[in-house]
Amino acid sequence: MSLLVVGTIGIDTVETPAAKRANILGGSASYFAYAASYFTRVSLVGVVGNDFPPAFRDLLAKRDIDLSGLEVAKGETFRWTGKYHENMIDRDTLEVRLNVFGEFNPKVPEASCGAEFLFLANGSPSVQRKVLSQMKKRPKFVAADTMNLWIETARGELDELLREIDALVINDSEARMYTDERELLRAGKMLLKKGPRTIVIKKGEHGALVISADGVFSVPAYPLEEVIDPTGAGDTFAGAIMGYLAAEGNAAPATLRRAVAYGAVVASFTCEDFSLDALKKIERKEIDSRYHALLSMVDIPK
Amino acid sequence: MSLLVVGTIGIDTVETPAAKRANILGGSASYFAYAASYFTRVSLVGVVGNDFPPAFRDLLAKRDIDLSGLEVAKGETFRWTGKYHENMIDRDTLEVRLNVFGEFNPKVPEASCGAEFLFLANGSPSVQRKVLSQMKKRPKFVAADTMNLWIETARGELDELLREIDALVINDSEARMYTDERELLRAGKMLLKKGPRTIVIKKGEHGALVISADGVFSVPAYPLEEVIDPTGAGDTFAGAIMGYLAAEGNAAPATLRRAVAYGAVVASFTCEDFSLDALKKIERKEIDSRYHALLSMVDIPK
C-alpha cells in the first residue's frame, strides 16, 4: 500500500568521536524515505533550497523514492551542525539554520492525498496536523515523531495531534519529559491514554519498547562492533517500520513486531557510517540476513 | 546439582528517590542465595558479626539455604550506606565499614567442596581464586562477578581468575572500563579472549547481553511501573541464573538462555522493594508467570 512521509531534508555537518564530515545529506524525511524504500515505494513531501546538490536528489531518486512532492524554494537548504559526546548518545547542536524550511508550508500532491500509510516526521505539531488535514480520506495508519522542543513549547497542539494518530514514535528521554514519569512502561501507558493505540519508545543503543493495548513488545538494538555516527538512526528505524507495514498492508500486532525488528536492523546499518553511506552499500538481502540474526539473538528456546 | 556461593552478607542503609530504609539485609551472597533458592538448594559461604540479627538468618534459613558455611566472627557485620540518584542507576556510597568482612578468609565446608556449580560473588580476585582452589574437583560450571575496584587495583589477579572460570558476570560500565571499548559487543569479545566461554553483561534497566562462542543473546529487563530500590538486582539476576542452571544440571546454550531470562525476571522483583522484601512475598509460581510474560514480550512471530 502507498506510503507518504513529510519531514525535513537537510545538509548536515556532523562530528562524532570517530570522525567529522561536512555537508552531508541529512534530515528526517531523507533518512526515513531511504530506509522505507527497501520495503515499498515511498513518496516524500519536503522542501530544499536551490543550493541542494543534484547528487543528493539522485541518491534518493535511485531508490525509486517519489520526489514529486519535493519543493525547491529560493534560498538555502535547512542546515544542521552537531557534535556527539564520547558516549555517542548525547549531542550538542552547534548551529541550526532553518533557511527555506522556516517558511515550509507542506502541500501534499494530489496523487499522494490518498496514501494509506502516513508518517509525520518530527516537525511542529500544527504543521503535522495541517498535513493530516490535507489527506482526502483518513489513512489506514498514521504515525508521528516529535521532540523535546514541541513538548516544551507546543504541548496543547501536540496533545491534539496525539488524538488523531495511530502511533507515536518517541525517544525515551522525550517520553519521560512528556509524561514526567521515570519508568518507560508507565510513561508509555500515559501516552496511550492521550490517543494513539501504539507507543514506540526508542532507546538508542538499547533498542525499543512498544506499548499498546495488545501488550508490551521489547526489541534490542542490533549490537555493533563500531558506531561511526548515530544521526538518522531513529528516522531510519521509523522508515523501515512504516515501509514494512505498508508493504504488508496492515499494522496487526504480529506485523508490527516484525516491522519494529526490521526497524532495529536498518537503524543499525545507519550507525555504521555517516549520512546514508552505509545504507547505500546494502540491498534488501543484507537487511534480511541481519534480521534473521536478530531473531536468533532474542530467541529463548522452549 | 549442588550450588555454592561465596560472597558478602551485609547490613545496608539505602536511600532511593522513592524512600529510605536503615539496617536492612544486604550483601551479594544474601541476594544471590535467596534468588537461587527458588530453583535449587544453595549453600552459602560468608561471614557476619555477632551483631547479625537472628531475623536475617531466619529469613535465609526459611528458604532452605544451607548456612553451615556462614561464619559468625567476633565484631560487627559488614555495613554499607548508599544513596541513589534521581535516575535510579547511579549511586553514591556514603559509608562502607568492612568490619568482620575485612578479615574474611573463606573456608568452604567439607560438604560443599564437591559442589558442581560455583558462584564467586564480587570480592577480591585473589580471595575468589582461593575459594576455587579449595574445591576438591573442578566444578562443572564456575561463574564470577567483579567490580571497578578490582579492575583498577588488581587487574593482573583478575586476568588470572578469568582464565579459571566459565562465565563472567559484569556490569556494562565495568566491561567498558576493563576493555577500554565503548561498544559492548566488542568489550564482550575481548573479555571472551581472556578465558571465560561466556560473558554476561548486565545493563540494569536495559537487560543483559550474553556473548559467547555460541553467539550473542539479548534479553530485556522485565519492565516495571515502579522501581523502589535496585540494590541487589544484579546479585539476584546471577542467583536465578545459577540456580536454574544447577537445577537443570547443565549450562548448554539453550539452558543458559532460559536461565538468563529467569535472571531478568527475579531481578525485576528485587527492584520492587527494599532488600528482599518483594522476593519474600512471592513463590516460584509468580516467577514463572512473569517469565512467560517476558517470553511473549520478546516474541517476534514468524
Provide, as residue numbers in chain B, all residues whose Cβ is less than 8 Å from the Cβ of A189.
Answer: 225
β-bridge partners, A21: A14
3-class secondary-structure state, position B171? strand
Tell me which H or E stretch contains B170: strand B167-171
Query: What is the distance between the alpha carbons of residues B251 and B118, in angstroms, rounded to a whole number?
Result: 12
Determine contact, residues A80/A93, Cβ cutoff 8 Å. yes
* pLDDT per residue rounded down to tens, chain B (302 residues): 999 999 999 999 999 999 999 999 999 999 999 999 999 999 999 999 999 999 999 999 999 999 999 999 999 999 999 999 998 888 999 999 999 999 999 999 999 999 999 999 988 999 999 999 999 999 999 999 999 999 999 999 999 999 999 999 999 999 999 999 999 999 999 999 999 999 999 999 999 999 999 899 999 999 999 999 999 999 999 999 999 999 999 999 999 999 999 999 999 999 999 999 999 999 999 999 999 999 999 999 98
Contact A219 B257 (CB under 8 A): no
Q: What is the pLDDT of residue A49?
A: 98
Cβ-based interface (< 8 Å): residues of B facing A: 17, 86-88, 182-186, 189, 203, 206-207, 209, 215-220, 223-227, 254, 257-258, 261, 295-301
Q: What is the pLDDT of residue B123?
A: 87
* pLDDT per residue rounded down to tens, chain A (302 residues): 999 999 999 999 999 999 999 999 999 999 999 999 999 999 999 999 999 999 999 999 999 999 999 999 999 999 999 999 998 888 999 999 999 999 999 999 999 999 999 999 988 999 999 999 999 999 999 999 999 999 999 999 999 999 999 999 999 999 999 999 999 999 999 999 999 999 999 999 999 999 999 899 999 999 999 999 999 999 999 999 999 999 999 999 999 999 999 999 999 999 999 999 999 999 999 999 999 999 999 999 98
The residue of chain A with its CA nearest to that of B190 is A225
Provide, as residue numbers in chain B, all residues whose Cβ is less than 8 Å from the Cβ of A299.
Answer: 257
Angle between helices A155-164 and A125-133 (to 10 degrees): 30
The CA distance from B249 to the nearest CA of chain A, in Å, is 17
Query: What is the distance between the alpha carbons of residues A42 and A128, in angstroms, rounded to a whole number?
Result: 18
- Comparing CB atoms, the residue among B186, B219, B223 nearest residue A209 is B223
Instruction: Output the furthest CA–CA distance in chain B (Å, rounded).
Output: 61
The residue of chain B with its CA nearest to that of A223 is B185
What average pLDDT does chain A have?
A: 97
- Comparing CB atoms, the residue among A182, A219, A223 nearest residue B185 is A223
Q: What is the pLDDT of residues A79-131, one digit of tens each?
A: 999 999 998 888 999 999 999 999 999 999 999 999 999 999 988 999 999 99
The residue of chain A with its CA nearest to that of B253 is A301
Closest CA to B196 of B208, B213, B182: B213
Q: What is the pLDDT of residue A89?
A: 87
Which residue's entry shows cell 535511485? A62
Query: What is the distance between the alpha carbons of residues B4 and A249, in angstroms, rounded to a whole number?
Result: 54
β-bridge partners, A202: A171, A208
- Comparing CB atoms, the residue among B17, B206, B225 nearest residue A185 is B225
**CA A154, A157, A163, A168: dihedral to nearest 10 degrees?**
-30
Determine contact, residues B141/B166, Cβ cutoff 8 Å. yes
3-class secondary-structure state, position B47? strand
Q: Which residues neighbour B5 within 8 Å (Cβ) at sequence distance 6 or greater?
A: B29, B32, B33, B36, B42, B43, B44, B45, B118, B119, B121, B239, B242
3-class secondary-structure state, position B38? coil
Single-letter amino acid code for the residue at A51: D
The CA distance from A103 to the nearest CA of chain B, in Å, is 39
Start-to-end CA distance of chain B, whole Å, equals: 36
Q: What is the pLDDT of residue A123?
A: 87
The CA distance from A220 to the nearest CA of chain B, in Å, is 7
The residue of chain A with its CA nearest to that of B301 is A254
Region for A99 from its dihedrals, namely left if φ exceeds 0, alpha if ψ lies in -120 to 50, beta otherwise = left
Neighbour count for residue B252 (Cβ, 10 Å):
12
Contact A301 B257 (CB under 8 A): yes
Provide, as residue numbers in chain B, all residues whose Cβ is less than 8 Å from the Cβ of A230.
Answer: none
The residue of chain B with its CA nearest to that of A262 is B300
Q: Name which of B16, B176, B182 to mutate to probe chain A: the one with the most chain A Cβ atoms within 10 A of its Cβ.
A: B182
- Quick one: DSSP state of residue B77? P
Determine contact, residues A179/A191, Cβ cutoff 8 Å. yes
Determine contact, residues B204/B235, Cβ cutoff 8 Å. no
Which residue's entry shows cell 560473558? B199
Query: If DSSP states are collapsed to H, E and C, what string results for chain A?
Result: CCEEEECCCEEEEEECCCCEEEEEEECHHHHHHHHHCCCCCEEEEEEEECCCCHHHHHHHHHCCCEEEEEEEECCCCEEEEEEECCCCCCEEEEEEECHHHHHCCCCCCHHHCCCCEEEECCCCHHHHHHHHHCCCCCCCEEEEECCHHHHHHCHHHHHHHHHHCCEEEEEHHHHHHHHCCCCHHHHHHHHHHCCCCEEEEECHHHCEEEEECCEEEEECCCCCCCCCCCCCHHHHHHHHHHHHHHHHCCCCHHHHHHHHHHHHHHHHHHCCCCCCHHHHCCCHHHHHHHHHHHHHHHCCCC
Contact B223 A185 (CB under 8 A): yes
Single-letter amino acid code for the residue at B111: A
The residue of chain B with its CA nearest to that of A86 is B182
Contact B225 A183 (CB under 8 A): yes
Start-to-end CA distance of chain A, whole Å, equals: 36
Determine contact, residues A47/A100, Cβ cutoff 8 Å. yes
Cβ-based interface (< 8 Å): residues of A facing B: 17, 86-88, 182-186, 189, 203, 206-207, 209, 215-220, 223-227, 254, 257-258, 261, 295-301
